């Protein structure tokens, strides 16, 4: 299992456009084979900061995701919204437990 987690800060005044893009992207990505979860969350203290959290069945599924047309379109749109470079980390998870 692969987990991707990070932060995305958008420029002031562009929050609503970022929310619309994120909601659009979530709907498309969560229907991709191998995607277990793909969500953006608003930071409670910083309105222009979003957190992304993704769970993938495999590295292969994540690699296919990076090649989709909607990922390319999202990256183009996001470039005009960003206040800074996103901070994203990929984790390979060999075991997990629900509690």
pLDDT tens digits for range 14-71: 999 999 999 999 999 999 999 999 999 999 999 999 999 999 999 999 999 999 999 9
pLDDT score, position 96:
87
pLDDT score, position 98:
87
Q: What is the CA radius of gyration of the chain?
A: 14
Q: Rounded to two decimals, what is the model's pTM?
A: 0.91
Query: In whole angstroms, what is the distance from residue 98 CA to residue 36 CA?
Result: 15
Q: Which residues contact 21 (CB under 8 A, 6 or more apart)?
A: 74, 77, 78, 81
């Amino acid at each position: 299992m692969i987990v991707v987690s990070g932060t995305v800060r958008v420029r002031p005044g562009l929050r609503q456009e970022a929310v619309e893009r994120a909601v659009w992207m979530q709907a498309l990505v969560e229907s991709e084979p191998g995607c277990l979860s793909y969500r953006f969350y608003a930071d409670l203290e910083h309105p222009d900061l979003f957190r992304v959290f993704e769970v993938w069945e495999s590295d292969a599924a994540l690699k296919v995701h990076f090649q989709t047309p909607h990922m390319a379109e999202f990256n183009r749109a996001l470039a005009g919204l960003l206040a800074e470079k996103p901070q994203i980390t990929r984790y390979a998870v060999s075991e997990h437990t629900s509690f």
